[in-house]
Amino acid sequence: MLEENIELLTAKRRKMYDFEENRATKRMQKEDVDKLTFDDKSETDSNDKVRFDNNKVFSIDPKVVLADSDYKRDIFPDGIKIGKPIRLNIIPSDDSSQETDDDEEDIPLEESFISTSSSSEIWTLPSGQNVGNIYANKIFENTKATKKKKKLTAVEKAILRYGASNIIDLSAHMKEWFCVDDKKFMTKNYESMLQIPELAPEESLFVLKIEEFVRKRKVDQAYKHCMDTHINSEKNSFLYKISKIYGDFIYKSEDQVNILDFTPESTHTEVDVIVKACAYIVEGLCKNLEVYSTWGESFCPLSRSTNYANGRKCDVRFLSASGVDVGEWEFSAKVIANKTIGDRCRSARINQSILNGLLEYNLNDEQAKNIQVPFLQFGGTCGQLLVEDLVEGFYIVFPGPKFELPIKLRDIGKLKNTINIIKLVMEMYERTCETIENLETFHHKFDDVFNGDYHVEDKPTHFKYQYIRKSWWTPKNSLCSKNDV
């Protein structure tokens, strides 16, 4: 019995050894094949060399047929024939895919549109038409034209969203609804507000001297002059601030291709534009002002809606010392048509919500008249000033000057205009903060939670209050979009 067990054990070991030896042999054969494929040069010319270009990306050529149907082994043992492989139809990626409107919103339902306010009937334009009729007809035409379309353009979506919010954006495609004389009439009271003030002589002389140093490539002298001017100027004066901003720009851009991208290719993000190209200017100008900024995505509580309890996300918010929103700015990495159109419409409605919040303070008519919301929109380094106000029952977005953030040292001449425009906006925010800081607001946060209503005697009495209209908001595929304002 013992001998039988020994024989069985020996047989098992022999089988195991044979199995291991067979597996090792197959591994060696495979290694020989691999070595022959890449190392053996018996069938190649000694002058032949294989070169690899690290800068090229290898891809599948759609013209290459991956298998030959005449191959003798294209039939399985059971008689089933292997069909010809389908040619690959590879379409290269296209930047135009970024043109898609990837916002979070659906379009308003018909129930979201209301008749224009009665005040619009008396806003007669030089052409003899009144704004209310033009607005109602154009919104109706757009609604009718898009009703059966499966896919709307960014402009069509924006017009519907503007229409549900009672907004006329004279900076966008809606300006085409009005003739030149009518637009001048509508904007005449805002021209002076959108004028960019000139620099004082001392400040202008400083800027010219810095630009001359840079033009002559005396960068170190330019930077030193900025620091000397900053130290020797009256603290918190405008010269004190801009000398620091110019010094920061020179320091940031001196040793770089540009302050956004570390390679010649455009690889920067939206956050890069905010942090590297804009924030240092805003922070420099806001020093000693009672205006505070929140950078990065935060939520504006005034833009709350049914599906967004925290409000809408904002790239940059500006607030008073007591935390009241006074403006919101929108940024994007590049100027892409659909996104730029969607961002402007979205920002106009967020700032409409902010304007409504400000108009809920106990203002007199003169104070209410001076309450507007300026804001900036950026697409890459391109920017524009816009101002929103409640005029004759409509929220009008007035277009201001365009400008460009400098990102290269040789573009330092663009910095003066950028500083002046941002300074104008900050000063408007400062005046708004001063107006509302000691006033009582009739908006209570409990009303947002419990849908509270104002008592008649608690409402503001200024002339703008009766025309307040909430912004239209809804997420995509929302079942409650008609109730979501």
Distances (CA, A) of 251 to 279, 403, 407, 409, 461: 15, 22, 12, 9, 52
What percent of the chain clears pLDDT 90, i.e. is strictly above it? 54
Q: What is the DSSP letter of 259?
A: S
Taking phi over 0 as left and psi of -120 to 50 as alpha, with beta for the rest, 253 belongs to alpha
* Residue keyed to tokens 């303070």: 361
Two tokens, residue 275: 């942090």
H/E element, 183: helix 180-187
Residues of the chain with pLDDT under 50: 2, 33-73, 85-102, 116-119, 456, 476-485
Two tokens, residue 7: 């024989």
CA dist., res. 237 & res. 407, Å (int): 25
CA dist., res. 384 & res. 169, Å (int): 14
Q: pLDDT tens for residues 427-484?
A: 999 999 999 987 866 555 666 566 555 554 568 889 999 899 888 886 544 433 333 4
Q: pLDDT tens for residues 381-425?
A: 999 999 999 999 999 999 999 999 999 999 999 999 999 999 999
pLDDT at 14: 65
pLDDT at 92: 39
- Which own/partner pairs from 59-63 qualify as long-range (CB within 8 Å, at least 24 positions apart)? 59/90, 60/88, 60/90, 62/87, 62/88, 62/89, 62/90, 63/87
pTM, rounded to two decimals:
0.74
